[in-house]
Structure 1
C-alpha cells in the first residue's frame, strides 16, 4: 500500500476480491478509502484485485468460518493500519440442497461463514472503532433473509440471523458506530448466473418477469447503495435494511 494510501481512511471488505465484493472495494477506493479485501481461496482473483486497486488495496487471506483465522487477520489489520472507518461483511457461501438431503456439514459451513464470520470479525474490530469514535458497518444480507425459498434453509437462516445481528449491533455500538444491512436481489455476477441457471434464456426470462424493473441488478447498482450507507448522507440511518432488487421483493 502506498504512502498516499496510508493517509486515507481504512475500509475492510470481506469477500472483497470477486463479484459484488470487488465492486464494493473499487467503489470505496474511488471514495477515498484504502481497502483491505479479505478472501478465502481464489489467489488469482486476489492478485487481480490488488493490481486493479492501484496500490490502494491489499488482499488478505482469511477463512471466515475459522474464528482463529479471523482473529489473526483482525489483529494484523489493527496493528498495521489501525481501526477501520468502514467494515463491509460481504463474504458468503451457499450449499443449496433440499432440507431432507441437507447434511450437517452443509448447515455448519454456511452458518459459520455467513453469520458467525461477521460476528467474529465485528467483535474483533468494533472495540477499536468505538474507541476511535467513528465507524460504519454494512452487513450484506439477501432478500431470502425475509422471503424463504426451497433448497436454501441454511442460507436463508444465516441471512435472517444476520439481519437480527445488524439490529443488535446498531443498538450496542451506538452512537459512534452505525450498523445497517444491505439486501441485494438478483445481481449479474458469475456466481448468481451459475447458481440460478441464468445463462438459460428461458430461466432468465422467468426471473425477469418477476422483477418490475425488468432486469437483473449490476454490481454497480449494489455499490451505489453501499456508497449511501457509508456516506454522511446516511448519518441518521442505523439498524435498517436497504433492499436493492428492482422491486422484486416488496415486504
Structure 2
C-alpha cells in the first residue's frame, strides 16, 4: 500500500522540521517546502528522507507550479501543514509598506495560496479518511504584542481563515489551527535573548509548566490533529503553550 502524502511548508527548519519528522515517523511520504536555507533543506532531506522543494509561498504562481509538480509526481496529499512564516518586527510608526506586505503575504496569503492549489485534489481523493489541513498560527494572533502589528494581524487572519475553510470544506477535509506558545528554536532563542539567564527566568515565570516548549511538543499536537482520534475536530485551535495564556 502506498504511504499517504503530507506537504509541509517551512518544513526543513525549527518547528517545521519537527513536524516533518513526526509525519515521516507516522508513515507519511513528506514533501517539504523551504524558502531560502538550501543547506538546512539538504540536511533535512538526507536525514529524514524528505522530498524538498524551494517555494516562496507568498508567490501565488510559484505555489501553483509547485503544486502541479507535487500532484504529478506524488499524487494528492492527505495532509497539508501550512507552517511557513516570517517575522519582520518594527514599531507601527516605523513600519514600511514592504514590511507589512512581506509578512502578510507569507503568513496569511501563503496559507490561502497553498490551500487553493492543493485542497481540490484532497477533496477529489479516494482516501476513505478524508484530508487534513493544519495551519500553524501563533499566540500573538490572539493576544497582541508591541512592534509586531504585521505578524499579529497575519496570524489572527490565519485563525479566522482556518474557521472559514473548516466550514466550507467539511465534511471531506478537516481544518484546524495549531498554535505554538514559547518554543525553543534557534530563532526564538536569538529574538528573545533566552541565552541570558535573566531573560530565560522571566520567560519561565510566565509559564505554569515551568519549562519552555520544544518542537516535539508541537509535533505531539500535530500527531493528534492528523490522526483518527481527532476525527470529530474541525475549525478549532489547539494551543501548545504550557498554560501560559489559557484562552
What TM-score do the two structures reach when normalised by structure 1?
0.96
Q: State the partner residue of 2:227.
A: 231
Whether 1:41 and 2:68 are equivalent positions in the alignment is: no
CA distance in 1, matches of 2:81, 2:58: 16
Structure 1 segments, 4+ long, off by >3 Å, are none
CA distance in 1, matches of 2:27, 2:154: 32
CA distance in 2, matches of 1:196, 1:49: 26
Q: Report deviation, 1:68.
A: 1.0
Q: State the partner residue of 2:92.
A: 99
Q: How does 1:1-251 map to 2 (within 5 A)?
A: 7-53=2-48, 55=49, 57-132=50-125, 134-251=130-247
Q: Report deviation, 1:113.
A: 0.2
Q: Report deviation, 1:37.
A: 0.3
The one-character-per-residue Cα deviations of 1:89-141 (angstroms, maximum 9, x if unpaired) are: 00100001111111111100000000000101100100010111520000000
What TM-score do the two structures reach when normalised by structure 2?
0.97
Q: Report deviation, 1:75.
A: 0.8
**How many residues of Structure 1 are paired with residues of Structure 2 in the alignment?**
244
CA distance in 2, matches of 1:132, 1:178: 14
Q: Report deviation, 1:201.
A: 1.2
CA distance in 2, matches of 1:22, 1:40: 13
RMSD of aligned residue pairs (Cα, Å): 0.9
Q: Report deviation, 1:243.
A: 0.4
CA distance in 2, matches of 1:148, 1:221: 23
Q: Report deviation, 1:163.
A: 0.4
Q: Report deviation, 1:49.
A: 0.4
Q: Name the SS of the counterpart of 2:51 in structure 1.
A: strand
The one-character-per-residue Cα deviations of 1:147-206 (angstroms, maximum 9, x if unpaired) are: 000001000000000000000000111101000000000001001111111111111111
CA distance in 1, matches of 2:125, 2:167: 18
CA distance in 2, matches of 1:167, 1:177: 12
Unmatched tracts of structure 1, length 5 or more: none
CA distance in 1, matches of 2:84, 2:44: 15
CA distance in 2, matches of 1:64, 1:128: 18
Q: Report deviation, 1:30.
A: 0.3
